[in-house]
Chain A
């Protein structure tokens, strides 16, 4: 049966989505530019950070540029280095956004921004008990992915490469192993630098891709947003279509018989 993009929904946290691209809202030069890129990406879930209100100047609000009827706002716990900090930030995000979804990050090191997976697992357990839909940013370790899944995470989100590095999927073999035993969606989060990286993630069989810098940091973020949208869709199509096996030697595409002599 032919695969139909129209009928292929992402099922996440008890909801369904048409788009398999999740995008961040950080690092844009201006809010109008961000708005245009978000729209062009056709993403339905956008991540945001939780930070102190600036009391000394009345800055424009991010949410003035995000149509919350169209986009699901997913607060993150970026910048948190302990489970307690991440839990507190998740609770603040829930109050601010009136949604119980959280992109859970517990960072272990400021240079690599790699996750502290021990603290991540602990925070996941607590937040799941508190009724959150927890989407944890983790490393590409299949054992940790399984533990997060067992702890009740609604998805596992392994990094492709360090946040903002644009290095692509550094360990596709591990992503494949994570996919083999996953019963929740697997979303590659971080490391995507260009369209082919997003396609690789989807061709491996990932359920979705989350990126921020790859789009926001491009010279033309709006064009890159469209490229990423197409790349995610192309990768998904190729995965569903079932690629040919890789072989060392040629296999002629044209008939070997009937060559005119």
Chain B
């Protein structure tokens, strides 16, 4: 107990652990641990044969953190900023990484980007497929029920939110369609009733 000086004896003897557990103690000596100490200056060990890397050509004005002195010599070229989301992203990079505005604007741009992509796909005649892209059919092929029922999974407390999010658009579309159909049939009935009255 920590209320006295001695450390509580919790572990079996090392000899027992060494016999029972494969590899027990092989890295007991910190000298055998590759990242001890954390910083070990050895430029010859990295494989680099340059003092500073040659610069990669830029194909568009590459957004960068204002905490950097300059554009790093090498960078990723996936998905250049485009459209309204691109405008928001570029604006976000006016703020340092220390500012919440930087990250919140980027998160906002991510959401705008999704709407842009959906519309673009729709206009191109190849709309996104919720069924294929969510992989939802694996619920049937990989034990969706079996993986949840009767199991004390903590994530079940909030997974229903995902399910609601998935179903909600379908329910909304079905609801709107039902209302339109009902309005249409009411109109027909009214016209029919008026016609009878005239006769």
Do A and B come together as binding partners? no
A residues within 8 Å of B by Cβ?
A: none
B residues within 8 Å of A by Cβ?
A: none
